Structure 1
Amino acid sequence: MNAAWMMVLSVLYFAAAYIFYGRFLQKVFGIDNSRPCPSHTLKDGIDYVPTPMPVLFGHHFASIAGAGPIVGPVLAAQFGWLPALLWITIGCVFIGAMHDFAAMFLSVRNKGRSIAYVIENELGYAGRQLFLLFCLAALVLVVTVFTTMVADSFLSTPSVATSSLLFIGIAPLFGVAVGRKILSLAEGSLIFVPLLFLCIWLGTIIPIDLTAILGSREAARAFWIIFLLYYCLCASVIPVWVLLQPRDYLNSYLLYAMIILGIAGVFAARPSIALPAVAADADVIPGVFPLLFVTIACGACSGFHALVASGTSAKQIDRESHILPVAYGGMLTEGLLAMLAICSVGYLGMDQVKAMFAAKEPAQLIFANGLGHFCESLHIPFEVGRNFIALAISAFILTSLDTATRLARFIWQELVLPGQEDAQKQVPANACGYRNILGNRWIATLGVVILAGIMAFSGSGNQIWPVFGASNQLLAALTLLAVTLFLNRTKRPVLFALLPLIFMLVISIWALIVLLQQQWGKSIPLVIVSILLLILAGILCFLGGKSLVRKNQA
């Protein structure tokens, strides 16, 4: 198959899904622009901020599109291109994007709170607390691993460090200028987007090479980890419109440029897919089933997206009709990025792919090299194209990092709250006495940062990382459980959510069991985490099934 045809068909398919299946979801959930959103009713200028749809789309897309939609499809090349293509196209439209849409809708209808409060309405306070603990553990893992990934990218490519710091510097200027109505969104974009690309050029001129300055890679890595965690601490507590929102919006232009450049390169180069449709030595079990489905998470279905959708984004939705382009459209765009990742590795033969994996070449670099070669057909030098792609990847990993920290702060604050007396009287995270102290946004963020820092310096994050893919999909299954319970209670159609719930639950638990067997006696942290996740999932599924049966009988 020619990669250009693959991209054409993907664009048409995702566009049709947005129009037709998106319209179906709007009808089923009852999107109503006459209902005021939490960004208006609970506006506080910090977390609850009404936001124009293009800005929120940029923030949301940049937050969910971390390394996942690139790394997953590249790693899945070992199974052949067809299993990855089928999972991305089917999973993204009917599971992942629907999951994101539903999560954001439920949060908007529940005062901008997380899916945990929907679970409390269905399963009680204990169910909510178990779900929040699961979310917090997953987010600490995200913060840990993304911190080390960004630190390592700063070390390997010092120009990326310079450009990233400059991005952080210009973002508040854009936020103040647009937020205070000094400039319109269009005027601000015309001024600051070119500055964004100027920062890229300045990074190549003034690279920050801390290894040379501090004398050792270990010292430089420790400095970057501490710096990044301190940055996350500050970024998580200051008003969202000052740094997080404008930086994500500006960084989204890097993502758009990367996707457009990549697609244009594919059309110009028209590379043939050299990978076999299905690898001759690929094991169906436990290879494709279940490991493919946890190897490719972002780009098909990701539980982390539910935390973004119901954490920061739902608090900024201006109108309910914006849920479709932001949540559903954002996930479809990520699916397109995942298809681009397949093309970036698909033109290689299986022997080359296996050699790269054996040499432990990072998946991000394989992706950047592939698009760099495609860009040569556009008369862009390979080094220029590859370096730009690598910088864009690092930029949105950093975006996902500070978003994950803010989300972990929200989860921590909700975890210390008492049970709600009346679901109709929910308010933002607030409590009395010791709960008020523990729920303070500085204390909550500090707790998350300290836990992530301990793991980052101990190396535990790298050991536990293999189980994150399975835990991420298990989180998606638990979110779909909440969606299914809500649909059943409100007498809406339920099958379109129930079938994905069953599939994701089986796949994620199966994958955890496989990983547990593979790591038994090798990695104690991974074994412990896998067992705890299985126990937690079992309890929540039992409670959910019991609630579903009881309400249907009633």
Structure 2
Amino acid sequence: MGISVIKFPTSQRENKMTWFLLCVAALVGGYFIYGAFIEKIFGINENRQTPAYSKQDGVDYVPMSNKKVYLVQLLNIAGVGPIFGPIMGALYGPAAMLWIVLGCIFAGAVHDYFSGMLSIRNNGASVPTITGRYLGNGAKHFMNIFAIVLLLLVGVVFVSAPAGMITNLVNEQTGIDMSMTTMVVIIFAYYIIATIVPVDKIIGRFYPLFGALLIFMSVGLITAIAFSSEHTLLGDYEMSQMFTNMNPNDLPLWPALFITIACGAISGFHATQSPLMARCLQNEKNGRFVFYGAMIGEGIIALIWCALALSFFGSVEALSEAISTGGPGSVVYNSSIGLLGVFGGIIAFLGVVILPITSGDTAFRSSRLILAEYFNMDQKALRNRLLMALPLFVLGGILTQVDFGIIWRYFGFANQTTAVMMLWTASAYLLRHNKLHWVATVPAMFMTTVCITFILNNSQLGFGLSMMTSTITGLVAMLAITGYVIKKSKGKGETDLANEEDGRLETV
């Protein structure tokens, strides 16, 4: 496909570079300013023993260094979400970049911080147990089902996506007719091993290197586009279009954009991953760097890929054509090869392929641990780990036969609904302890409205109601849920706080 060369005056190129750098600076500033504010509201206790030590078992509860935990957390939460989502979101135009910045700072990073820190305060518990403690047993049972379904969808997406990308790369570069089924089997075999071995044997040992590769690849690609003579950063767009919906398929920005771009802005999948590293964190003071900071890192990666999609193809029409021809995976391949040449492009492309693989295995690992908590089954013995993991892989194998597009649509909605539940859990925790709950309640209110409006309006997944009816219903339901959580949770925290300080759990 030919790529049109678009030339801009120097001042316009500088304005677009300035806009991009301001977005990155806002994310970094969000970590130091708003992240510190969130940490202060939570109230860390540097003298409290973390589950990495209090429950150390050599399998899932293993103390690891701060940098290593950060890089593993970044890879665990990343997947293809901060790449495929922003590529699809770029169809709405530069407005997608605003959602990445604002969503990441005020919703996604807050969500990730509380999902990690509340797990630490609850002895490394998974998200359904945490939700049940602060929102009740009904919410716990709902989250057990929803989290397992989400993680299975994630596991399947993160098998199918890298398998397809690797197969296309091999076939394109070597002419070998590789079967995608073969690659699916290979990835599944790796997932089984990585899911059951101790966390420090594969994940803790190799994933920090992959995390460094991911950062290097993202910076390399955005640097290449910034100094390219053939492509202009942010393509054929004016600064005045930053708040304009430019989707060539006439898809509404509200609420679809906030479902399309999940990872990189806010993602419920992260709530299932943060407890994995909560079981390895050495001190609560490291929580902001690991949980809030990794989300900011993912936001920067999402921002880079959104900018690359807008820049490399020049217009949303050209981008839409590329996606319809080969999916977001082909966008990754074409832009990587086009900007860095064959060798550099393949390295960058493989860096992208690593992402879903490193998140897919931790998705199954999280599923194993959630089931183990539900059945109260200790995971130190290999037999018990296999007993929990193998049925999950059987179900995952069956789901790989379902069309990828269908799986992705359900994944998007399930992902954001999980995020809503985690945000309400954080809100309930803050309410119980008479802390500033609005930092979690406001994003919970927004995302609740998004999810309800989306499922009511969407004709493929939901009920196909009009946008007006769906939005009004979403707002009314959101207000009702807000009132319920505030009434149920306010002022019930003294006993909980004492138990947390002693490291004890209390059933709801």
TM-score normalised to structure 1 length: 0.77
- Measured after TM superposition, the shift of residue 291 of structure 1 is 0.4
Residue 284 to residue 109, structure 1, CA distance change in 2 (3 Å): farther
Identify the residue that residue 549 of structure 1 maps to in structure 2: 487
State yes or no: 1:401 paired with 2:360. Answer: yes
After superposition, where does 1:234-273 map in structure 2 within 5 Å? 234-269=193-228, 271-273=232-234
Matches of 2:114 and 2:440, distance apart in 1: 9
Aligned with residue 268 of structure 2, among 299, 303, 307: 303
State yes or no: 1:465 paired with 2:402. Answer: no
Check whether the contact 2:90–2:306 (CA below 8 A) recurs between aligned residues. Answer: yes
State yes or no: 1:518 paired with 2:457. Answer: no
Matches of 1:129 and 1:20, distance apart in 2: 36
- Measured after TM superposition, the shift of residue 275 of structure 1 is 4.1
State yes or no: 1:384 paired with 2:343. Answer: yes
Residue 159 to residue 401, structure 1, CA distance change in 2 (3 Å): farther
- Measured after TM superposition, the shift of residue 39 of structure 1 is 0.2
After superposition, where does 1:39-118 map in structure 2 within 5 Å? 39-81=52-94, 83-118=95-130
Identify the residue that residue 191 of structure 1 maps to in structure 2: none
Aligned with residue 448 of structure 1, among 392, 409, 421: 392
Residue 488 to residue 67, structure 1, CA distance change in 2 (3 Å): same
Q: Secondary structure at the match of 2:142?
A: helix
Identify the residue that residue 324 of structure 2 maps to in structure 1: 358
State yes or no: 1:483 paired with 2:426. Answer: yes
Q: Deviations over 1:233-291 (max 9, x none)?
A: 22111111111221211211210211221232244238242344366764999610010
Aligned with residue 124 of structure 1, among 126, 133, 136: 136
Residue 438 to residue 245, structure 1, CA distance change in 2 (3 Å): closer
Identify the residue that residue 173 of structure 1 maps to in structure 2: none
Matches of 2:103 and 2:343, distance apart in 1: 34
Q: Secondary structure at the match of 2:332?
A: helix
Check whether the contact 1:413–1:439 (CA below 8 A) recurs between aligned residues. Answer: no
Check whether the contact 2:431–2:491 (CA below 8 A) recurs between aligned residues. Answer: no
Residue 293 to residue 60, structure 1, CA distance change in 2 (3 Å): same
- Measured after TM superposition, the shift of residue 142 of structure 1 is 0.8
Matches of 1:80 and 1:446, distance apart in 2: 43
Task: Give aligned pairs, total.
Answer: 460
After superposition, where does 1:193-232 map in structure 2 within 5 Å? 212=177, 220-232=179-191
Matches of 1:383 and 1:238, distance apart in 2: 36
Matches of 1:521 and 1:549, distance apart in 2: 30
- Measured after TM superposition, the shift of residue 405 of structure 1 is 1.0
Identify the residue that residue 411 of structure 1 maps to in structure 2: 370
- Code of the residue aligned with 2:329 in structure 1: it is Q
Matches of 1:119 and 1:539, distance apart in 2: 20
Q: Percent identity?
A: 27
Deviates more, 1:541-550 or 1:288-297: 541-550
Q: Secondary structure at the match of 2:350?
A: helix
Q: Deviations over 1:466-488 (max 9, x none)?
A: 12112111110000011011100
Check whether the contact 1:416–1:438 (CA below 8 A) recurs between aligned residues. Answer: no
Aligned with residue 133 of structure 1, among 126, 139, 145: 145
Q: Secondary structure at the match of 2:287?
A: helix
Gaps of 5+ in 1: 161-203, 376-381, 418-428, 523-537
Q: Secondary structure at the match of 1:287?
A: coil
- Code of the residue aligned with 2:400 in structure 1: it is A
State yes or no: 1:339 paired with 2:303. Answer: yes
- Measured after TM superposition, the shift of residue 439 of structure 1 is 9.8
Q: Deviations over 1:429-488 (max 9, x none)?
A: 549xxxx9999221111111011011113x255423212112111110000011011100
Q: Secondary structure at the match of 2:460?
A: helix
Check whether the contact 2:432–2:491 (CA below 8 A) recurs between aligned residues. Answer: no
- Measured after TM superposition, the shift of residue 540 of structure 1 is 12
Identify the residue that residue 11 of structure 1 maps to in structure 2: 24
Identify the residue that residue 446 of structure 2 maps to in structure 1: 503
State yes or no: 1:28 paired with 2:28. Answer: no
Check whether the contact 1:364–1:390 (CA below 8 A) recurs between aligned residues. Answer: no
Deviates more, 1:102-111 or 1:387-396: 387-396
Check whether the contact 2:51–2:123 (CA below 8 A) recurs between aligned residues. Answer: yes
Matches of 1:553 and 1:331, distance apart in 2: 30
Identify the residue that residue 290 of structure 1 maps to in structure 2: 255
- Measured after TM superposition, the shift of residue 547 of structure 1 is 5.1
Matches of 1:286 and 1:342, distance apart in 2: 18
Q: Deviations over 1:78-124 (max 9, x none)?
A: 2111x201101100000001110111010010001112222222333
- Measured after TM superposition, the shift of residue 406 of structure 1 is 0.4
Matches of 2:463 and 2:432, distance apart in 1: 44
Deviates more, 1:8-17 or 1:319-328: 8-17
State yes or no: 1:370 paired with 2:311. Answer: no
Gaps of 5+ in 2: 1-11, 465-475, 493-508
Matches of 1:521 and 1:75, distance apart in 2: 23
Residue 131 to residue 349, structure 1, CA distance change in 2 (3 Å): same
Matches of 1:438 and 1:460, distance apart in 2: 34
